[in-house]
Each structure stands twice: as C-alpha cells, then as structure tokens.
Chains A and B, each alone.
Chain A
Amino acid sequence: MKRSLSTRLCSLMEKTTSLVCAGLLASSLACAEPAANTGIFIMGVDGMDPVILSRLMEEGKMPNFAQLAKEGSYQSLGTSNPPQSPVAWSNFVTGMNPGGHGIFDFMHRNVHNYAPISSATRVTGGEAKTLHFFGYVIPISGGELENNRGGTPWWDLLVEQGVDVEVYRIPGNFPTPPSEAKVLDGMGTTDLRGGFGTYTLYTDTLPEKKKPKGDIQFVTVRDLDLDGTPDTVNSILRGPPDQLHLEPGQIPHDKDYLTTGVTVHIDPEAAAAVIEVGGQYIVIEEGEWSEWLEVTYDLAPMGLMPVTGTVRFFAKSLRPNFQLYASPVNISPSNPVMPISTPDEFSAELTEALGFYYTQGMPEEQEALKDGVFSEDDYLKQVALVQQDTRLMLDLALNRFEPGDATFVYFSDIDLQCHMLWRHGDPKTLGAPHHPAYDAATAKGHTQDIERFYRDVDEALGETRKRLPEDTLLMVMSDHGFQPFTRDVHLNAWLRDNGYLVMKEGKTTGYTVGSDVDWNKTRAFGLGFNGLYLNIKGREEQGIVDPAEADALMAELIQKLEAFKDPAEGASVVLNVRRGSEIYNGPRIAEGPDLLVGYNKGYGASDESALGQITEDVIANNTSRWSGSHLMAPEVVPGILLLNRKLTREGHELVDLTATILSYYGIKALPEMTGEPVL
C-alpha cells in the first residue's frame, strides 16, 4: 500500500535531520502521528463464539488463537442490541448504537402500510420522475437509493489524517457511501437481480422444496444429432431487471428480467459438458464448479447500455438426470454496474490482483442448501470457493500492508456455517439433545464441520501473525456469538393470541401489510427479527395507541413477554425485553422499534413473523436447515475480542473498538460516538 506523503517525509527526515529538526518534527502533529504507531490490522470474524473458541483452544485445536490469547488478551465482547450482523457491524463502523446510525434490524417497517422494508437503503431525491418514450421508462430524477447507515465510519476519520486504509468486505456498506478510503462492500451487497442471491437451477426433475427461492428452469435435454443420446439443453440466464421498462417501485416478475441464452452441450460418453454463454465456452465435468464467466446484458438496444455480471456453474448431474446450477449473477467487480467499492475502481484493482471473486454480500449459497438443491457436500464445495476468495484477499491485504496502515479483513464462513450446519451437532454444548432438524444420515461425516471452519480461521491467524510486523496492533473480533436455534417463535401470532394484534372478522392468519389486520383495534405488531412496534396514533398510518399510554402498554408487554413459557418445554422463551428509548441514544431513535425482544437461547423469531406474517401457531420446532442463530438477547450471544496487547479490564463492546482504532492513531472520537478505547 502506498504510504501518505507526510509519512514518507517523516521517514526521510528522521533519517537525515539533526536533533533540532527532530525536535521540530516531534512538534508537528501531522508528522508525529504516523510515526507513533505501526498500524493496525483487524480480522473481523463474523459469528465467532467465545464458548466454542475457548473449548477449541483448551483442546489444542486453535493453537494460534491460544498463543495470541496468552501473549495478549482474550475476552468476550458485548454485541449490539439486537445482535444482528447489520446492526452489530454498523456499531463497529460508526462507534454509535442504532439510535445514532439508524440500522435497527435487517428489516424496518413502513409506517404507512405496515410492510417490512430493507433497513439497508433509503430513497432520496423525492418521488421518482420518469419519461415515457417509445415504450421505454426513462428515469429523470428522484428515487435514488442510498445507504441508510448514518454516522461517520472510522476509516473516513483515519484517511482524513493521512492514514492509508484498506477495508475488505465490510458488511452494511452497500449502496456504497462516498469515501476516500479503499473499501470493498460485503454483506448486504446485492446480486445483479437486486436480491441477496437468486440462483438458477436448470433441471429436468422437480426440486425437493415446493417453493424454492431460486429461479428453476425446467428444461428438456434434446437429442440434436438423433443418435439416441440426449445431448443439448437450451435455456436462459436471468440478469438484472429491465429497468427501462419498469415503473419506479414496480416489483419485477420473471418476464421483466433481462436474459442471456445458455446452451449446454453434453458429451455423448464422458461425464462432461460445454456451457456456452454469450459466445464464451467453458468445459465442465460432472460434480465440478466452473471458473467465473463474465456475462453481459443489454439494457438498451445496440449494446448502448451493457450491464455485466459474473456467474459460475456447478454441474451437479449431467446424466441420467440433468441438473446444472448457476450461481446468482454477481455484480462484476471489474466493471460494476453500480459501485461496490470506494474508490469505484478499487473492486477492479482487486480483480486484477485476484481474478474474479464473489461480490454478492452473502457469498455462501445457503438458499440452495435450504431448498434441498444442494446436498451438504455440494454446499461445502461451494463454501470452499468462498474460503479461497477470503484467503486470497487476506494474502493480498498482508502483501499490501505497511507499517502505519489500517487494514480490515472480513471472514464470513463461521457465521454462515453455524447458521446452516448447527443441526449436525451442537459445537457449544457437546452432547446436547439433537436439533429438531437433525438427520442421522445427513449428519454423518459433518458433525465436526463447524470446528473445521474455526480451525481454518486459526490457520489464517497464524499466517497473519507470521507476516505482520510484530509491533503492529492486531485485533481479532467478532460481531456476535452463536446459539442453537431449535424453536421458531411467531411473535405476531403471540400478539394476536394475547389481544394486542387483532385480525379482521373471519381471519386468523395473514400479513401486517394488506387487509388482514384490523388496525383500528391493533395495539402492537412485530416486524424484523427482534422488533416490536406499538401502533401509535399520529405515527403509524392507522395508529390507535395514545402516545401517553404507550409507556404503560410497553410495561405490560415486557412483563407478559418475559413471562412467556414454551408450552412444550416449559422454558422461558424471552430472556428480556428492552425499550428502544432506554438502550439507544442519538437522533434516529424514533425510526426504531419501541421494544427489542431478546429471545432466550434456542429461541428466535421465525422468518414469517419477521416479515409481518401472522401464523396459526405461536411456537414450533425449527426443522429448517437454518439451525443456528444469534437473533436472541445480546447477553446469550456475545462476540470475542483478541488483541496482541494486554487489556486491564473486561466488559468491552463493539463501539469501544471504534474508539480504540481512532485513539490508536491519536484521533479524537466524534461527540456522537459512545465507546471508550480499550487500550
């Protein structure tokens, strides 16, 4: 990494000037600062849990972590409330809690229609205006999406002081806010379709799940040369929505996406095929992943507005059943249709060094595993590709790191694998009863998978320590820990059964959005994974709760929810419920939930409830492959903190790390930042 001019000048002057000059130098703030430290290198390990880590260290399976803990410090780290990745990483990035940065959950609520909306973006520039021209819908102004995260990222403050910063795959940074630092967006970055990862399956057989989340293309393998062996498949690969034919806000249907042709030629004898996309050919063997292929979609005629993406294929089965899997079409890092980094060209610079890499926010294709399209082995094969990307990025970051720099590298695998593979065996409580989604046949050979991912990060830490200058501040941290997720809680069903959410006559189930709920009688509703909102008069579109009565209603809800017992097991479902106004501070408190439901370990909001669905059951076994979670009370899922420095006290939180990074460079934290340096 290129060092700042002031750093270079300082270095030169230190070698050549007299003591007098050195005295002058010391008095210069700009020069004294970079020379005062040797930089900071942060490994951000999403979902690393202190209980699992401690056990593995004790068992000698994490030697590099154990050594770092011995030579420096190791403790658990307070997570955000709620302990959700977008919230937690925003705390770390801005040094504020959600009341300051405005990210309260994966999902927020639309006060006008009670619909769940993404917390990641907000619309600016007013209502979108368009011009209709020969069937095209041309955007004129307004309706721009920007990142909803408020506050100032720590890297901006460092760059202002001349520090060279590189941040690899930071969650919650898409859409990309302007910055002078080199930042590559991570979790939250969409695929080219604008979602969080829509795969395509070309198949001549039905998939396991009735409503899979992927784009299922039923195909026929035709016998083109009439030799009795089916050999050719013709289909399409959907890309971005055809924005020039969609009204602003219009949800695209299948026909509204731009497409490119895909032809698969299967060899008559060998278990191999050629895939032809956009005039490019790749040869693929059965059971193998292809390299990345750049695909182009034409938004306007004559190639005037090309949109490029990258895709890779997995030949799951060629014969007798045909199943070809295509990854979600990622935004091409070499030619991104919208920025996925700052500066814009940083993503392309990385492509030159690394080749194509996953740009979609959650690169592990867990939807395919959830849908039964992937077996465990298929999934782990894909995860290995993501790990390869991560290790290459770490390698590059270490190569570019120079004393005085600040670098952050994100590790996603432990988080995703704890979500997906926990059901095979609880790594936190050995010998715990089987997860409801446990299946002995599937679990065979996979009970130690999570441990393996921990050990992989240990290996990465070992490599990092070997290559970093000894006196560089090394910080290893996670945003939260993990717990088993065995019971699905349908919060809206609980609210209905307890009289807080009232359905319209004749309905017992439905959605908060639409006409299923009687809002004239409803006092509270749930949206997001931990959020509970009151239907406040003057705030919600059809609010009925007088603001003066809100406090009493919240007290009642807290008391009842904390007393909520699982009818099957007798355990407390909710560990604690906190008021947003009590735990948050900052200008955006009003945007957040009124109450934060902190589920007990093992319990968590169902996907249905998080999206505003009111189901029949209040609580049910979680039989999904998504079997580990952290969307609980922050107290049961703390993260970890390791430093190669001795810490004198415990009880630190994510926001304290922001303050630590700034103070390490002698930069004063902004008044709105709430943390205290740990060093």
Chain B
Amino acid sequence: MQAYNNIASAIFDFLLTPFGHEFIYFDLLFWPVIMGIGALQVYKVASNQAAITRVKTQISMHLLEIRLFRDDLLQVLKSTGLIVLKNFIYVGHNMMPMAVMLLPMVAVMVQLVAHYGYEPSPPGSVEVLQLRLDPAAGVSSRDVSLQTPDGVSLDAPMVRTADGQVFWRLRADRAGDHVLTVDVGEERFEKAWAVGGDHRKIPVKRLRSWEALLYPGEEAIPAHSPVLAIEWKGHTRPLAYLPDGELGILLWTMVLSMAAGIALKDVFGVTL
C-alpha cells in the first residue's frame, strides 16, 4: 500500500501542477480529457465492440417497432420488454471495460484531490486532530500523548473517549509545514499540519486501512499498528463555480472525462 502510494505520488507530483498549485484549471482541464481519451482506448480494447454495436442496433430496431406498430398493444409491450432486456445486455457489455478503467481513473482523481482539494489552515486557526485506536490492539487511550512543535500549541486539554478516540484542539501559531509527534504506548507516529503559505499538496489523513490509498498526502500507518487513523477535517479549497474541494474535483473530473470520451469517440473509432 505504501509502496504504491510512494510510486504514484512520485509520478503525479512530477506530472501535476506544471504551472504550480495556484493555477488549478490547467490540470482540471488537461487530466480529465486525458482520462477520457485513455478510457476510450481501454473501452475499445476491453469491450466487445461488435456485440455492443449489435445490441445498440437491436435497441434502435425495437424503438422503431414501437413507433411503427403503436396501434398493436401486444407488439408495443413485446418491444418494450425487449428494449429493457437489451439494455441490460448493453450494460453487461460495459462491465468489463468499466472495471478496467476504474482503477487508473481513481488513481488520477485521488492525486488531483490531494493536490487541489484542500488548502492550508490559516495561521491563527484552531483545528481538531483526531486519533482512532484499534480496539483489538488493547492499547488504552491513556497511553497516548502528543508533542507539538514550535508554531503549534495545545488550545484545550486532550479528550479521550470511551470508544478509543483521542482529540486535541490545536492552534496554529504561525505558518509552516509542522510535524506533530504522537506517542501511543511504545510506538511513535508523526502527523503533518500544513499551515499558511502557498497552495500545495495537503496532508489530511493518515490511515491504516486500504483507504490510505485515497490519501496519498502522507505515509500510511503500518499494518500492525494500534492506531487506525490520525486525521484533520481539513480545509476544502474553494473552486469558484464548482462545489468546494473533493466533491467539486470528483464531479468535474467525472463529467469532463465522460464528455471528452463522448466527443472523441468517433475520432478514435469507438462504439460506446
């Protein structure tokens, strides 16, 4: 998991943001179009193009039947039923290419979100850091402690919950890429906090599960650690006319890549 995150991040840290993190729209236009073209190529190879053409023709034919024999109720019902059936078949033909496309598309979107979905906390802001313990690890929340670096101070006493969570309210006294240290029993963890400065890749969550693949801003938590997660809520980045942060990027990327695929399907000779 961590090896994948390292490789993927190395590639995308190089490829993304050729104009810096401030100029967000180059990547938000370029990558969805590339994804759309890539998806077309995958679709062409991974799908049964002849079968798709055939089933689409059949659907058109049944639609024509409904139009021509609209006075014949039985025929209309039969054609409608066949359209529904053929649609299922059409969807079935799409399953394989969808499955093949899903992973690379998610990989790109995850990187786009990590780079553009969040912004640094403003200096002076107060945020809550949350740590979740693995109940199976048998470590008590009383064995958890936090060391703050210069520039970060504890704003209230830590709170430990009965269900194995620990919360700290922290104040960002000054800008910087701060590193906090959390001791859990004998183990030590680091958690980054991006405060102030320019837009950049923002570390929001450190996770132990497979979900760490979705948050490549920081290293995953080792598999056998007593800690499940250390996370901030994070400041979503405003994206003008799109919904803020992650949601805006995901929606935009999906819509634009699909639009690019549909627009370019004839150029690449693909039947969708």
Interface residues of A (CB under 8 A from B): 223-225, 227, 231-232, 265-268, 270-274, 280-285, 288, 291
Beta-carbon nearest neighbor of A265 in chain B: B161
Given contacts A266-B159, A288-B156, 6 further A-B contacts (CB under 8 A): A265-B159, A267-B160, A270-B157, A273-B159, A274-B128, A281-B130
Report the bound CA distance from A231 to B163 in whole Å: 10
| Bound form: Cα–Cα A8–B155 in Å | 48
- Which residues of chain A are near B163, meaning CB under 8 Å? 224-225, 232, 265
Residues of chain B in range 150-168 having any CB-CB distance to chain A below 8 Å: 155-163, 165, 167-168
Per a CB cutoff under 8 Å, which of B142, B155, B167 touches A274? B167
Q: Is the CB of B126 within 8 A of A265?
A: no
Q: Is B128 within 8 A of A272, CB to CB?
A: no
Q: Is B233 an interface residue (CB 8 A)?
A: yes
B169 CB within 8 Å of chain A:
yes
Nearest-neighbour CB distance to chain B for A508, whole angstroms, equals 56
Residues in A with CB closer than 8 Å to B128 are: 274, 281-283
* Most chain A beta-carbon contacts within 10 A, residue among B126, B160, B233: B160
Of A232, A265, A271, A291, the residue contacting B157 (CB under 8 A) is A271
| Known contacts A267-B157, A283-B128: A232-B167 contact under CB 8 Å | no
B169 contact set on A, CB distance < 8 A: 282-283
Instruction: Let me know if B162 and A270 touch, CB within 8 A.
Output: no
A-B contacts, 29 of them at CB < 8 A, read A225-B162, A225-B163, A231-B161, A231-B162, A232-B161, A232-B163, A265-B159, A265-B161, A265-B162, A265-B165, A267-B158, A267-B160, A270-B158, A270-B159, A271-B157, A272-B156, A272-B157, A272-B159, A273-B159, A280-B233, A282-B128, A282-B169, A283-B156, A283-B159, A283-B167, A284-B156, A285-B157, A288-B156, A291-B126
Are A268 and B160 neighbours in the complex by a CB distance under 8 Å? yes
B residues near A (Cβ < 8 Å) are 126, 128, 130, 142, 155-163, 165, 167-169, 233
A-B complex: 5 closest residue pairs judged by Cβ atoms? A270-B157, A224-B162, A265-B161, A225-B162, A283-B169
CB distance from B259 to the nearest CB of A (A): 25
CB distance from A313 to the nearest CB of B (A): 13
B161–A283 CB distance below 8 A: no
A281: B residues at CB distance < 8 A: 128, 130, 167, 233
* CA gap between A281 and B168 in the complex, in Å: 10
Q: Which residue of A lies closest to B238 (CB)?
A: A352
In whole angstroms, what is the CA distance A265 to B142 when docked?
15
Most B CB within 10 A of own CB, among A223, A225, A267, A284:
A267
In the complex, chain B residues whose CB is within 8 Å of the CB of A273: 159
Q: Which residues of A contact B156 (CB under 8 A)?
A: 272, 283-285, 288
Tell me the bound Cα distance from A401 to B205 in angstroms.
42
Q: Smallest distance from the beta carbon of B11 to chain A beta carbons, Å?
A: 33
B residues within 8 A CB of A266? Answer: 159
- A residues in contact with B158, CB < 8 Å: 267, 270, 272
Chain A neighbourhood of B126, CB < 8 A = 291
